[in-house]
Amino acid sequence: MDLTLNDFDSIITVMHHSPELFARLDAAQRVVFKLHDNNLVKMWANCARLWNELDIEFVQCRRRQRLTAKYAEIAEKLDTALVVLEQHLTFGTLLKM
């Protein structure tokens, strides 16, 4: 069975249900591992765990064909955790200079 361009686009859309959060998490990962700080690694791991929870809840959203309240709650928690992590990364980067 061959995939058409529309099928491929919809697969990509499903995989990245929240591209902004994923991009922030991915960018933070690079900085965290460059700084070699265990506390930052733990904070990033917490964000990654929240991303996994969000990803699991997105499956439920697809089944119900709407975003659930739990999805919005997890997304808000992840956003808050990423803000805190990004602040710590900024301070950590400045201190390492």
pLDDT tens digits, one per residue of 45-77: 999 999 999 999 998 888 888 888 999 999 999
Q: Are 81 and 47 in contact (CB under 8 A)?
A: yes
Distance (Å, whole) CA 28 – CA 21: 11
Neighbours of 39 (CB within 10 A): 11
Question: From residue 55, how far is each of 14, 23, 67, 71, 89 by CA, in Å?
Answer: 10, 14, 12, 9, 24
Asked if residue 33 belongs to a domain, the reply is: yes
Q: Examine residue 88 and state whether it is found in any structural domain, yes or no.
A: yes
In a domain, 72, yes or no: yes
Q: Which domain holds residue 86?
A: 19-96
| Residue 14: inside a domain | no
Contacts (Cβ under 8 Å, ≥6 apart) of 42: none
Average pLDDT for 28-49: 94
Residue matched to tokens 């997304």: 75
Q: What pTM does this model have? A: 0.79
Q: How many structural domains is the chain composed of?
A: 1
pLDDT over 60 (residue 11): no
